[in-house]
Copies of this chain bind each other. A is one copy, B any other.
Amino acid sequence: MSDRQEDMDAAKEDATGKDGAEAKPAIVLVRPQMGENIGAAARAMMNFALDEMRLVAPRDGWPNPKAYSLASRADRILDEARLVAHTGEAIADCHRVYAMTARRRDMFKPAMTPREAVADIRAALAGGQRAAVLFGAEKSGLDNDDVVLADTIIHIPANPAFSSLNLGQAVLLFAYEWFHAGFTPEPPRPLSGHMAPASKEELMHLFNHLETELEDADFFAAVPDKRPVMIRNIRNLFQRANLAEQDVRTLRGIIKALSHGRRWRRQAGGGHSESGGNSNS
């Protein structure tokens, strides 16, 4: 089995779950013009685990080599795309149809954001219905005759002075919302070896080590009444840092290294050269 086949299978398994039957909306590209945009739409679908593309009368015929060259590893979606002549054929088996439009339409239909539409679609699919989303041609968008076929209009919230998105981007944003709604974050990976989080015991050893050395360096000597609050601040600082075991070892090495000269000088009869805590508080 090639790597590519494995990727495909992994994608399929991820997308469809154990029973191979997660229901998903079909993506219907209505009279798309540039093959590149069909390929970009396929990639976006693959990125976010949508499988089913339907093509209504693509301008440059079908199959289109430019679509394939842009789709790269998402070409399975193009291979399986269903080609039809009219929008009505593309949605004949669906119960709920959504039209992605940039412009508002005086059509007296409910309008939703992609996020709202995805929730609506997931509810319809859970009830055993089939759903499709219509995307129009690059320049002109959907004809009113296509929009009439939809139950609901989808608008992408965007800067009203600069709202134009290309076909691939519109499919990308819808597909992203589709995937996001079904996304459960991976549990944090067990952190191996050096990234294991420090135990509280290791943290207490660190605190004790640091505070002993600070005492020894007369860090608190000039401001004895501030000692408790200073210790609390220092502990909070390291507590917040969410240290790993290795971090604790590193910090203890640092403390040891910094203390080395002082201890050495003292043993050799020299005085303290470090400044006290007052300049650090």
Contact = CB atoms under 8 A, between A and B. Distances in A.
Interface string A159-189: 1111111000100110010011001010001
A48 interface: yes
A191 interface: yes
Given A172-B173, A179-B158, A185-B113, A191 B7 contact: no
A157 interface: yes
Interface stretch (A10-18, A250-258, A262-270): A10-18
19 contacts: A7-B161, A7-B162, A10-B161, A14-B159, A46-B162, A47-B159, A47-B162, A47-B164, A73-B162, A74-B162, A104-B189, A106-B191, A108-B244, A113-B180, A156-B176, A157-B179, A158-B176, A158-B179, A172-B173
Contact of A159 (B15, B113, B163): B15
B183 A157 contact: yes
Nearest to A183: B157
State the oligomeric state as a number of copies.
2
A94 interface: no
Contacts of A73: 162
B47 A163 contact: yes
A159 B173 contact: no
A242 interface: yes
Classify chain A's interface size.
35 or more
Contact of A172 (B169, B180, B183): B169
Contacts of A7: 161-162
A73 to B, nearest CB: 6
A109 to B, nearest CB: 9
Contacts of A172: 169, 172-173
A84 interface: no
A108 B191 contact: yes
Interface in A264-281: none
Interface in A113-136: 113, 115
A195 B104 CA distance: 14
A49 interface: yes
Q: What 3 A-B pairs are tightest by C-beta distance, nearest first? A: A11-B161, A10-B161, A157-B183
